[in-house]
Chain A
Amino acid sequence: MNVIEINHLTKYYGKHRGIEDVSFSVADGEIFGFIGPNGSGKSTTIRTLLSLIYPTSGTATIFGKDCIKYGKEIRQHIGYLPSEVFYYENMKVIDVLKYSASFYEHVNLRRIETLAGTLDLDLHKRIDDLSYGNKKKVGIVQGLLHEPKLIILDEPTSGLDPLMQQKFFELIQNENKKGATVLFSSHILTEVQKMCARVAIIKDGTIIKVENIHNLRENNYKKFTLEFKGPLNLSCFKFDGITNMSQDEKTLHFLFRGDINKVISSLQGQVLQNMLVEEPTLEEIFIHYYQKED
């Protein structure tokens, strides 16, 4: 069963494009990555799912129900953590969290303390006395306190130090093990790589690809770094499968996809100082995707 299903979702802000013809689905129990550069439409998609904004055309369903029409019921089971968090400045942390809890049915208030304990958050400070990172922690607690079935994270890690990020990821993974589905939007690929099984890649408001992280990496891209002793002969490397070629002085970098023997044979007779063959990072693979579009 799919928890989220997005069908040809389009949103225009006046004439300005938000997203165009976005379709993908997130299955029950998975951690789904949503990757794209800033301004590519990640937040627009998420804000539509939460019915903060209304689509120009297309539909989205969550738990099998239309996300606009049944927004109220659906949101009972959604936990949302935006990239930037703002709360009522004059309130104490505990009061904000209790206010948040008051909207949901069957909330265990002890959970607030447990979560705050895990994240090392002082519940009795006023919101306007909190640092940005601590406000973010309030965001995490209020997003998780009602044990949502679907967790939507929009660039969640900004403002959290690496230690907290680690704890945060553990929290999310725990919720996931207990059955929660997670939609994780980010422009930082390494964190998506760590967490997600599948990703949708969005650019300029349209989905470029939905793929298994595993497949992406298994796409047989290899990253070559060749350091030459003698003069560099570029003409040997003009065949299909080579991309992202760049060169500085005597070093040549490129990504290669295909039969590795082709590269080996083209190296015959060349004098090398050093040679590295690596797995490319997702960043490099994605840059490749983006460039293909241009």
Chain B
Amino acid sequence: MNILTQELKMEWKSLVVWCISLISVLLFFMLMYPSISAQMADFQKVFNSFPIEFQRALGVENLNIGNVLGYYTFTMTYILLAGAVQAMNLGVSVLSSEVRDKTGDFLFVKPVSRRRIISMKMLAVFIQIVITNAAFFIASWLILTMISSTSFDTNLFILLTGTLFFIQIFFASFGFFISVFLRRIKTVLPISMGVVFLFYIIFLLNETLKDVKLGYISPFDYFALSAISKNMSYDSVYLVLWTFLVFLFVYLTFHVFGKKDLPSI
């Protein structure tokens, strides 16, 4: 328990900042909705005039901004991107910070097993992701209810907002996995930004190519918002793949980090 409390104590400020940022981005986009929806026809015309590839890349293909959830979907694309960076940051830094800040010689000589340290740190990341999602879910519900004059499909809202959780869990576990292989990580943000945008570019590329195999590479494809809106559900194949990969990354993290030599100062 002490490791968990310590982690949360050290991270709570950054967690608050991330939550506020995500919600602010959403609020910023959603506040524009009333004026956009008033001139809906013009916007639709502008978007439709773009080449189809470009529309797909922007996430505005089949966009129905006449509906508040349609516009919310468009906003979520960017929320997911930011959320992925946050989760990846958490994942990469949680184990590597002990090496980076040279506190490993403090923590790892305590009478506690490596496995326990790893699991407590993972749990701390999980809790932070849950808090982020809870805060975001409540805030987005409030914002949407406030802004929309008509009612919206609750099911679809939950499905769309839920993607943040799945994307974050994926990137956090991928972050753990990466962090145990890199010998000494000086700064975390470039790594997480790099990885997240790489996956995002693959996803964008695939939005135009529509290649099934390529879709397996990027987690953004697993939870493609346009497909979710169309099918009103998550893709079960992708869900299985997601579960498998998350477990694989977590398993490998335990396996590799459990036997890793901790570099001396």
Contact = CB atoms under 8 A, between A and B. Distances in A.
A141 to B, nearest CB: 12
Given A13-B261, A99-B2, A50 B109 contact: yes
Interface residues of A, number: 30
Nearest to A103: B110
Contacts of A38: none
Contact of B111 (A54, A75, A89): A75
Contacts of A54: 259, 261
Contacts of A13: 261
A52 B101 contact: no
B109 A52 contact: yes
A53 B265 contact: no
B244 interface: no
A82 B102 CA distance: 11
A78 B110 CA distance: 9
A75 B110 contact: yes
Interface string A48-80: 001011100000000000000001111110101
B111 A52 contact: no
A84 B101 CA distance: 12
Query: Most chain-A CB neighbours within 10 Å: which of B10, B103, B104, B261?
Result: B261
A88 interface: yes
A52 B260 CA distance: 8
Contact of B101 (A71, A86, A102): A86
B138 to A, nearest CB: 29
Contact of B10 (A84, A88, A104): A88
Contacts of A80: 105, 109
Contacts of B231: none
B247 interface: no
Interface in A84-102: 84-90, 99-100, 102
B110 A100 contact: yes
Contact of B112 (A53, A72, A86, A142): A72
Nearest to A82: B105
Given A47-B264, A52-B261, A54-B259, A99 B6 contact: yes
Query: Most chain-A CB neighbours within 10 Å: which of B2, B104, B109?
Result: B109
A72 B111 contact: yes
A71 B108 CA distance: 10
Nearest to B264: A43
For the residues of A in contact with B, the DSSP-based class is: loop
A120 B262 CA distance: 32
Contacts of B106: 85-87, 100, 142
B113 interface: yes
Nearest to B265: A84
Nearest to B101: A86
Interface in B88-112: 101-106, 108-112
A262 B111 CA distance: 59
Contacts of A104: 110-111
A50 B259 CA distance: 13
Interface in B206-265: 259, 261-262, 264-265
Contact of A82 (B2, B101, B265): B265
Contacts of B259: 54
A134 to B, nearest CB: 16
Contacts of A72: 111-113
B103 to A, nearest CB: 5
Contacts of A53: 261-262
Query: Most chain-A CB neighbours within 10 Å: which of B102, B111, B113, B262?
Result: B111
Nearest to A50: B109
B265 A75 contact: no
Contacts of A84: 102, 265
Contacts of A86: 101-103, 105-106, 265
A73 B110 contact: no
Contacts of A78: 109
A52 B104 contact: yes
Contacts of B111: 72-76, 103-104
A52 B106 CA distance: 11
B113 to A, nearest CB: 5
A198 to B, nearest CB: 24
